[in-house]
Structure formats: structure tokens, C-alpha cells
Structure 1
Amino acid sequence: MARKNEKPEDLLDVAQVAARLTVSPSTVYRLIHEGTLPAARFGVRHGVRVRAGDVDRFEKGRKE
């Protein structure tokens, strides 16, 4: 998931994604499970992360 040129701040956790999309965390998990929003799991403690660019693309698609 994380590319070499990506910074850690480019990866958002579920709460951050939910805040940006103004949805609940459970909705974010559902979007990830459906494959609508790409994400990766980073161990038990670090949870799920989503690229900020993927969230931007999702938002643009939602507005169209």
C-alpha cells in the first residue's frame, strides 16, 4: 500500500477518513469491505490505513 515516495501523513486511519467524508467509521469499514475504498491493514495495533489520494478520488466520484 505505502509507496516509497509516500509520507506517513499521506495515510489516514479510519477515524480521519470518516471525518473527511462526514460519515461514521462503520461506513468507512463498509466501503473498504465492498472494495469501493482501497485500504491496507498494518498489524493489530496500527489498524487500517487509506491513502489520502484514494479518499480524494472517492470524494470526487461521489460528487459527480
Structure 2
Amino acid sequence: MPFSRYNGVFEPADLELLQRVFNQLCYERRLAQKDREQREDLATQIIREFNSGTTDEADLLQAFSRRHRRA
């Protein structure tokens, strides 16, 4: 029986969405595999945003693209 994503366990569709968002943002930010710390920070931020209620792929991409431009 699957647990709720709010308990820290994600459905397969959620994981696929999170992976696509992560991959796209890594590509946009040119984060290579060797940029481990930055990639881990990004993954944490994406999951945190997803858990706070932003569950649409386009909305997640837009939120992080906007944040990155401000930085």
C-alpha cells in the first residue's frame, strides 16, 4: 500500500515528475555530475517545494527558473 507523498514517500508518477524537473533545472544551470553539493541542494529544494503544494511540473520549473534568475 503506497504512503502519502506528505509522509516522505512518493508515488512513481511523483518521482518521474520530480526527476524531469531536476534534470531540466540541472541542464539549465549547467550542473554536472561532479557538482554534487549543488545538485543535492537543488533536489532538496525541489522536494520541499513539491511537498508544500506545488505539484505541477510547469509550476515547479517556473518557480525555480525565476528564483535562479534573481540569484
Q: Same fold (TM over 0.5)?
A: no
Greater RCO, 1 or 2 (C-alpha within 8 Å, sep 6+): 1
More strand by share: 1
More helix by share: 2
Structure (1 or 2) with the larger CA radius of gyration: 2
